[in-house]
């Protein structure tokens, strides 16, 4: 995506306090007490500076003393900027994902399928579940977590444009990830030990060996098992059985790459396989 000069100027309006509060405290959506945790590599939505600013400002002004927030409330405060034939139906991200004319999320539908496979329950109507129940903190069924917090675009690192020389780690994605990784992974592992979710799926990961090393350092008796891929069924992944928690780490995303069906997997079957192969 190409950023215009006006987009550049909008990005420069991001305030340091809101940015740092997000980096330090934002871990995702839902509840740590949820039974099923989904840890994405990073927060999405870095395509437009307005969306980034809206998220950071909401979290800074409305979420203090907590690392997770209500995704529906936050999405009410994030302007909808994408183009498309139905764009006029949406004024904010809540309308887009949770409103009357909501659009089914390509990743969330597979996370819903994973949970119901793991619970050995029939699939619900996916869009209805997304709108009403997904990552609802009071439901305590799913937590949507992020290893790296900043909303980012896959192919660009726009935070280097910020005039914040006192934050040199923002000059590159690699420096930023190195800066935040240790504390964030420690927090996630500490919370796994404290809250004991039934299953944690870390997906889209680009640093498998580093993640496994961190897990083994925190849980010294951990042994990982490599599960080979079954095309169109089960993605390759690494499994560890922690005390009271099954941990899966994979490079794969629970969505199609470039909308090509041959790049997908049956995530309901992935969840079901955990029960069949304890």
Pairing of the two strands 36-42 and 199-203: parallel
Q: In the structure, what pLDDT confidence band is assigned to residue 9 with cuts at 50, 70 and 90?
A: very low
What's residue 11's pLDDT?
Answer: 57
| pLDDT tens digits along 201-251 | 999 999 999 999 999 999 999 999 999 999 889 999 999 999 999 999 999
Rounded Cα–Cα distance for residues 27 and 216 (Å)? 22
Is the pLDDT at 87 greater than 80, yes or no? no
Percent of the chain predicted with pLDDT > 70: 94
Position 197 scores a pLDDT of 98
Token code pair at residue 9: 């100027």
Asked if the model's pLDDT at residue 150 lies above 50, the reply is yes
Model confidence at 5, in pLDDT bands (50, 70, 90)?
A: very low
User: Which range is most confident: 84-98, 148-162, 235-249?
Assistant: 235-249
pLDDT reading at 115 higher than 90: yes
pLDDT tens by residue, 10-39: 555 789 999 999 999 999 999 999 999 999
Give the residue ranges of DSSP H helices in the chain: 5-11, 16-25, 49-62, 71-76, 93-98, 108-118, 126-132, 173-195, 208-218, 267-276
Per-residue pLDDT at 128 exceeds 50: yes
Q: What is the pLDDT of residue 2?
A: 46
Q: In this structure, what DSSP letter does residue 28 have?
A: E
The confidence score (pLDDT) of residue 12 equals: 59
Question: How far apart (Å, rounded) are the C-alpha atoms in residues 274 and 46?
Answer: 33
- For residue 46, pLDDT beyond 80: no
Each residue's pLDDT tens digit, 54-83: 999 999 999 989 999 999 999 999 998 777
* Dist CA 199 CA 105 (whole Å): 22
Maximal C-alpha separation, the chain: 54
Residue indicated by tokens 């420096």: 175
Close Cβ partners of 223 (under 8 Å, ≥ 6 residues apart): 240
Per-residue pLDDT reduced to its tens digit, 178-196: 999 999 999 999 999 999 9
């Amino acid at each position: 995506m190409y950023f215009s000069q006006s987009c550049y100027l909008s990005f420069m309006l991001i305030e340091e306090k809101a940015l740092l509060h997000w980096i330090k405290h934002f871990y995702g959506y839902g509840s740590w007490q949820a039974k099923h945790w989904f840890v994405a590599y990073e927060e999405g939505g870095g395509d437009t500076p307005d969306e980034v600013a809206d998220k950071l400002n909401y979290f800074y002004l409305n979420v203090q003393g907590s690392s997770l927030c209500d995704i529906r409330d936050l999405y009410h405060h994030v302007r909808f900027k994408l183009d498309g034939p139905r764009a006029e139906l949406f004024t904010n991200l809540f309308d887009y994902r949770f409103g009357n004319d909501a659009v089914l999320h390509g990743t969330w539908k597979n996370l819903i399928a994973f949970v119901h496979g793991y619970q050995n329950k029939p699939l619900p109507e996916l869009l209805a579940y997304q709108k009403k129940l997904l990552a609802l903190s009071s439901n305590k069924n799913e937590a949507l977590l992020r290893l790296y917090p900043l909303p980012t675009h896959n192919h660009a690192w726009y935070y280097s444009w910020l005039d914040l020389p006192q934050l040199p780690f923002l000059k590159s994605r690699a420096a930023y990830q190195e800066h935040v990784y240790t504390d964030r992974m420690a927090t996630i592992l500490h919370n796994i030990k404290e809250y004991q979710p039934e299953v944690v799926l870390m997906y889209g990961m680009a640093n498998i060996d580093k993640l496994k090393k961190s897990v083994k350092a925190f849980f010294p008796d951990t042994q990982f098992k490599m599960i080979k891929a079954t095309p169109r069924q089960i993605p390759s992944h690494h499994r560890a059985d922690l005390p009271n928690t099954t941990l899966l780490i994979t490079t794969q995303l629970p969505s199609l790459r470039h909308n090509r069906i041959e790049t997908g997997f049956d995530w309901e079957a992935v969840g079901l396989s955990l029960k069949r192969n304890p």
